[in-house]
């Protein structure tokens, strides 16, 4: 979308663009553009390049490393990263645990964890969901029993994204099973993944990639100083964090790059009125989403935490991502049909290039987007109750 940028903003955009051009390693860009699985080193490598420049956490308070950019500058930065095809910044530390610590953490917790998150020294993951406790998260059973100066944690988390890379996990645990209101017995704990008693087992997704895991806790001793906020107040922390999580699921800048790519790949399909109709619908929805996102960013600038209405960004953003993968598969015609697991060998004799070979696995992979961070059905329930008052 063309905004009327001021001269200073245009200069800022040019600076960001040229810095990205010189500092984004070519092989990372190529991996992102061809949808290859990114290793821990790929993810942290880019994180650290940005941290060194001072740009890894623009929205943090300046005293902890934030850039102090205006909402427009932050928007420009996101846009430019999207165009440049930078690897994603893993949100668990930067955009989930950090806002929680800034809001609810003690000074000691902030000093201990925030600089390490900033510099990419600790890789975090999120331990919310359990078997049987996804949408109905408040039913979670992982138990944390207080014994002197530590908790003993026993139970299981599931779908834990990138737990196999993680140094730390932030977890919702049940500290008081006797509370009549289930939410009241839940606490928020930070757990070192190297603690004895933790086992991580992979769950392979339908594209063949290893992103998610089961995490088992077997009498895991966690120091009581790793409790965030008060015992039994974990639900308040959890909800605050989910607002930030859902803000980040729109992926607008990436969708804009994908949309441009679909157009470039479509060729004669652009003359097909049904294809053109679908493409135009996605484009209009993406423009509408972008404007909505800017409204929310403006509210954040005014110091308001993201509220229930960010569910809208999650629903629309993920529907658009899925629609774009469908259009891409269509552009590849019959070549898209042969399935090749992500990062598997190329089947050169049937004329595959790396991009074409990645389209169907990507289509399969992005099915997850309407499930994680709270399924889209649940987001609709939230909008109905909290925003529309139904």
Ligand X SMILES: Cc1cc2nc3c(=O)[nH]c(=O)nc-3n(C[C@H](O)[C@H](O)[C@H](O)COP(=O)(O)OP(=O)(O)OC[C@H]3O[C@@H](n4cnc5c(N)ncnc54)[C@H](O)[C@@H]3O)c2cc1C
Counting contacts by CB under 6 A, is residue 124 touching ligand X? Answer: no
> Residue 75: what are its φ and ψ, rounded to 5°?
-65, -45
CA distance 333 to 359: 11
Residue with nearest beta carbon to ligand X: 134
245 catalytic residue (yes or no): yes
251: nearest Cα among 119, 85, 65: 85
Residue whose CB is less far from ligand X, 105 or 374: 374
Residue whose CB is less far from ligand X, 125 or 327: 125
Q: Which residues pair with residue 86 across a beta bridge? A: none
CA distance 20 to 77: 10
Distances 111 to 93, 101, 106, 387 between C-alpha atoms, Å: 14, 10, 9, 36
Q: Which residues pair with residue 227 across a beta bridge? A: 189
Token pair belonging to 76? 């420009």
Counting contacts by CB under 6 A, is residue 371 touching ligand X? Answer: yes
Counting contacts by CB under 6 A, is residue 129 touching ligand X? Answer: yes
280 contacts: CB under 8 Å, gap ≥ 6: none
Shortest Å, Cβ 200 to ligand X: 12
Counting contacts by CB under 6 A, is residue 168 touching ligand X? Answer: no
Total residues interacting with ligand X, rule: CB under 6 A: 19
DSSP state of 221: E
Of 156, 161, 255, 330, the one binding ligand X (CB under 6 A) is 161
Taking contact as CB under 6 A, which single stretch among the options 139-147, 231-239, 307-315, 375-383 is the one that binds ligand X?
375-383
Most distant CA atoms of the chain, gap in Å: 71
* Residues in contact with ligand X, shown as a per-residue x/- string from 189 to 218 under the rule CB under 6 A: -----------------------x------
Of the residues 73, 79, 245, 290, only one is catalytic, namely: 245
Shortest Å, Cβ 127 to ligand X: 6
CA torsion through residues 33, 34, 40, 41, sign:
negative
Taking contact as CB under 6 A, which single stretch among the options 158-166, 222-230, 238-246, 303-311 is the one that binds ligand X?
158-166
> Residue 189: what are its φ and ψ, rounded to 5°?
-120, 145
Shortest Å, Cβ 135 to ligand X: 3
Work out the angle at residue 149's Cα, subtended by the Cα atoms of residues 145 and 150, and round it to the nearest 5 degrees.
40
Counting contacts by CB under 6 A, is residue 368 touching ligand X? Answer: yes
Shortest Å, Cβ 47 to ligand X: 18
Taking contact as CB under 6 A, which single stretch among the options 126-134, 246-254, 281-289, 312-320 is the one that binds ligand X?
126-134
Q: Residues 188, 237: contact at Cβ < 8 Å?
A: yes
The radius of gyration of the chain's CA atoms, rounded to the nearest angstrom, is 22
Of 43, 153, 252, 378, the one binding ligand X (CB under 6 A) is 378
Of 72, 86, 126, 321, the one binding ligand X (CB under 6 A) is 126
Taking contact as CB under 6 A, which single stretch among the options 241-249, 253-261, 299-307, 364-372 is the one that binds ligand X?
364-372
Catalytic residues: 245
Q: Which residues bind ligand X (CB under 6 A)?
A: 125-129, 134-135, 159-161, 212, 368, 371-372, 374-375, 377-378, 381
């Amino acid at each position: 979308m063309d905004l009327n940028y001021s001269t200073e903003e245009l200069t800022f955009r040019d600076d960001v663009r040229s810095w990205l051009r010189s500092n984004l390693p070519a092989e990372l860009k190529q991996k992102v553009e061809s949808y290859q699985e990114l290793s821990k080193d790929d993810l942290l490598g880019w994180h650290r390049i940005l941290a060194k420049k001072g740009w890894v956490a623009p929205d943090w308070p300046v005293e902890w490393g934030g850039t102090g950019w205006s909402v427009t500058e932050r928007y420009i930065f996101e846009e430019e990263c999207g165009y440049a095809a930078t690897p994603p910044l893993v949100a668990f530390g930067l955009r989930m645990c950090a806002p929680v610590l800034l809001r609810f953490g003690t000074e000691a917790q902030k000093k201990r964890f925030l600089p390490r998150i900033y510099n990419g020294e600790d890789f975090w993951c999120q331990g919310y969901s359990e078997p049987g406790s996804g949408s109905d998260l408040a039913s979670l059973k992982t138990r944390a029993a207080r014994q002197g100066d530590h908790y003993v944690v026993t139970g299981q988390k599931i779908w834990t994204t990138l737990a196999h890379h993680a140094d730390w996990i932030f977890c919702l645990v049940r500290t008081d099973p006797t509370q009549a209101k289930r939410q009241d017995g839940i606490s928020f704990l930070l757990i070192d993944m190297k603690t004895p008693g933790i086992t991580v087992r992979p769950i392979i997704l339908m594209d063949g990639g290893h992103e998610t895991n089961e995490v088992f806790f077997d009498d895991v001793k966690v120091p009581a100083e790793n409790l965030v906020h008060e015992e039994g107040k974990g639900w308040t922390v959890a909800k605050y964090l989910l607002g930030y999580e859902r803000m980040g699921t729109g992926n607008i800048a990436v969708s804009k790059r994908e949309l441009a790519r679909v157009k470039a790949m479509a060729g004669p399909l652009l003359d097909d009125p049904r294809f053109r109709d679908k493409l135009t619908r996605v484009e209009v929805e993406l423009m509408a989403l972008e404007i909505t996102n800017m409204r929310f960013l403006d509210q954040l600038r005014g110091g308001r935490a993201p509220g229930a209405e960010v569910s809208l960004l999650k629903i629309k953003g993920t529907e658009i991502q899925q629609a774009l993968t469908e259009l891409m598969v269509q552009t590849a015609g019959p070549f898209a049909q042969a399935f090749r697991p992500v990062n598997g060998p190329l089947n050169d004799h049937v004329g595959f290039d790396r991009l074409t070979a990645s389209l169907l696995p990507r289509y399969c992979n992005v099915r997850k987007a309407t499930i994680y961070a709270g399924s889209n059905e649940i987001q609709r329930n939230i909008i109905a109750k909290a925003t529309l008052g139904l």
